[in-house]
Structure 1
Amino acid sequence: MTAAALATLKDFAREDAARLGFAALGVADASGNLLASGRLEEFVEKGRHGTMGWMPETLDRRRSPMDLWPGVRSILVLAMNYGPDEDPLEILERPDRGAISVYARHRDYHDVIKGRLKELAGRLVARARQSGLGEHDAKVFVDTAPIMEKPLGELAGLGWQGKHTNLLSRDFGSWLFLGSIFTTLDLPPDEAGDDRCGSCRACLDACPTDAFPAPYQLDARRCISYLTIETKAVIPREFRTAMGNRIYGCDDCLAVCPWNKFAQAASEAKLVAREELKAPKLDQLLGLDDAAFRALFSGSPIKRIGRDKFVSNCLIAAGNSGLSALLAPVVARLGDAAPLVRAMAVWALWRLDRGEALRLSSAALDNEKDETVRSEWHALEEGKV
Structure 2
Amino acid sequence: MSESLTEQIKKSARELGFELVGIAPAISPVSLPHFESWVEAGYAGDMKYIPGRREAYQHPRHILPVVRSVIMTAMCYDPQRNVKQNESRIGQIARYARGEKDYHDVMKVSLKTLAQQIHEEVPDSKTRAVVDTTPLLERDFAQQAGLGWFGKNTMLLNKSIGSYFFLGALLTDVELTPDEPHNTSHCGTCTICLDACPTDAFVQPYILNATRCISYYTIEMRDQSIPEEIRPGLKDWMFGCDICQEVCPWNRKAPPTREEKFESQTDLPDAIEFLTMSPETFKAKFRGTPLERTGRNALARNAAIVIGNSGSRATVQLLIEALQDESPLVREAVVWALGKLGNAKIKADLQSQLSDEKEELVVNQLKTSISQLDRNSYEIDSEAV
Q: Does 1:214 align with 2:209?
A: no
Which residue identity is paired with 1:139?
R
* Equivalent pair of 2:275/2:299 in contact (CA under 8 Å): no
Q: Name the counterpart of 1:344.
A: 333
Structure 1: distance between partners of 2:149 and 2:250 = 12
- 1 CA distance for matches of 2:160 and 2:59? 28
Partners of 2:53 and 2:12 in 1: how far apart?
33
Contact 1:346 1:357 in 2 (8 A): no
- Could you tell which deviates more after superposition, 14-23 or 320-329? 320-329
Q: Could you tell me which residue of structure 1 aligns to residue 307 of structure 2?
A: 318
Find the aligned partners of 1:289 and 1:369 in 2 and give their Cα distance. Answer: 22
2:109 is matched with 115
What does residue 104 of structure 1 align with?
A: 97
Following the alignment from structure 1 to structure 2, what is the Cα–Cα distance between the partners of residues 286 and 322? 16
Moved beyond 4 Å, runs of 4+: 90-95
Does the C-alpha gap of structure 1 residues 94 and 154 become closer, same or farther in structure 2, counting only changes over 3 Å? farther
Match of 2:383 in 1: none
- Cα shift at 1:239: 1.1
Q: Which amino acid aligns with 1:190?
A: D
Give distance in 1, aligned partners of 2:243 and 2:88: 16
Whether the 8 Å CA contact 2:153–2:202 is kept in 1: the answer is yes
**Inter-partner Cα distance in structure 2 for 1:282 and 1:230:** 18
2:240 is aligned to 249
**Alpha-carbon distance change, 94 to 213 in structure 1, aligned in 2, over 3 angstroms:** farther
CA separation of 1:52 and 1:73: change in aligned 2, threshold 3 A: same
1:95–1:225 CA distance, 2 compared to 1 (3 A): farther
Gap change, CA 1:76 and 1:241, over 3 Å in 2: same
- Match for residue 25 of structure 1? 21
Structure 1, unaligned runs of 5 or more:
130-134
Counterpart of 2:127 in structure 1 is 138
Residue ranges of structure 2 left out of the alignment (5+ in a row): 376-385
| 1:126-162 per-position Cα deviation (integer Å, ceiling 9, x unaligned) | 1134xxxxx2111111123111011111111000111
Contact 2:75 2:166 in 1 (8 A): yes
Which runs of structure 2 are paired with 1:88-103 in the superposition (5 Å)?
Answer: 88=82, 94=87, 96-103=89-96
Please say which of residues 39-48 and 139-148 is displaced more in the overlay. Answer: 39-48
Aligned to 1:162: 151
Amino acid at match of 1:224: I
Superposed, 1:196-235 pairs within 5 Å as 196-231=186-221, 232-235=223-226
Aligned residues: 371
**Aligned twin of 2:272:** 283
120-129 vs 16-25, greater mean Cα deviation? 120-129
Q: Report how far residue 362 of structure 1 moved.
A: 2.6
* Counterpart residue number, 2:379: none
* SS across alignment from 1:116: helix
Q: RMSD in angstroms over aligned alpha carbons?
A: 1.9
Q: Provide TM-score, normalisation by structure 1.
A: 0.92
Equivalent residue, structure 1, for 2:5: 9
Alignment-mate amino acid for residue 10 of structure 1 = T
Q: Give the corresponding residue for 1:265.
A: 256
Name the aligned partner's letter for residue 358 of structure 2.
K
Structure 1 residue 363: deviation in Å? 2.4
**Which deviations, in whole Å up to 9, do the C-alpha atoms of 1:305-355 show, x marking residues without a partner?**
111111110001111111122112211111111100100010111111132
Cα distance in 1 for partners of 2:55, 2:88 equals: 44
Whole-angstrom CA distance in 2 between matches of 1:92 and 1:59 = 44
